[in-house]
Amino acid sequence: MNTEKANQPWYALRVKSRFENAVASHLTARGFESFLPMYKSRRHWSDRIREMEVPLFSSYVFCRFDPLDRFPVVSIPGIVHVVSIGKVPTEVDQSEIEAIQTAVHSGLHHEPCSYLHVGQKVRIEQGPLNGVEGVLLSIKGNQRLVLSITLLQRSMAVQIDETWARPLDEPTASKARSAQA
């Protein structure tokens, strides 16, 4: 992949249900950088339980491309449309993609979760997610870092050690004193 394509913004592609892998493969074959985050899910059938890798954000694939020359992307079988506002494709925030990539490649347990509108933003200061920012959440007594793709209003949760996280908006001692006065 050339550096010109590596500097292009990320876009979210809405794809037909269960076409995520095929679309990602077609994009790669056509020379585009794509990202299809996956997670391990246990599927139960009447006679067995199987662990499978499934898309973290069902029906979405992320891709870098020039929005003015999107025909080679949208002509791939299985793509429904580029996520847009009106007719203008909307970029996915680079830092959100990087955070999701870091979490997926960290080896830590991760899974989809509900998109959060409120919660405390934190920065991870230790471990494999060092430097990643997200929202801290507690599920069943375990600390989770919620990472979101704001454009899609979709989120994922990755299990972390609670000592790794530091609040981003930690009140300073002077702010705390003035608030008490």
Indicate the pLDDT class of residue 119, thresholds 50, 70 and 90: low
DSSP H or E run through 40:
strand 38-44
Domains of the chain by start residue, with CATH: 1-92 (3.30.70.940), 93-169 (2.30.30)
**Mean pLDDT within 16-39:** 97
Beta carbons within 8 Å of 66's beta carbon, 6+ residues apart: 8
**Mean pLDDT within 24-45:** 94
Higher pLDDT pick, 80 / 144? 80
Q: Residue 67: its pLDDT value, please?
A: 95
Contact yes or no for 54/38 (Cβ under 8 A): yes
Contact yes or no for 55/108 (Cβ under 8 A): no
Q: Is the pLDDT of residue 42 over 70?
A: yes
Q: Please give the biggest Cα pair distance in the chain.
A: 66
Query: What are the tokens at 165?
Result: 């996280």
Q: Residue 173: its pLDDT value, please?
A: 40
Task: Provide the phi-psi class of 106: left if phi over 0, else alpha when psi is between -120 and 50, else beta.
Answer: alpha
Beta-strand pair 33-35/91-92: unpaired
Contact yes or no for 94/10 (Cβ under 8 A): yes
Query: What are the tokens at 130?
Result: 């060092």
**Mean pLDDT within 35-57:** 92
Residue with tokens 């929005």: 67
* Cα 156–chain centre separation: 7
Cα 135 to Cα 150: distance, rounded to the nearest angstrom: 13
- The residue type of 152 is L
Q: Whole-model pTM?
A: 0.76
Q: Residue 139: its pLDDT value, please?
A: 64
Q: Residue 60: its pLDDT value, please?
A: 98
Q: Residue 140: its pLDDT value, please?
A: 65
Q: Residue 114: its pLDDT value, please?
A: 62
CB-CB neighbours of 167 under 10 Å: 11
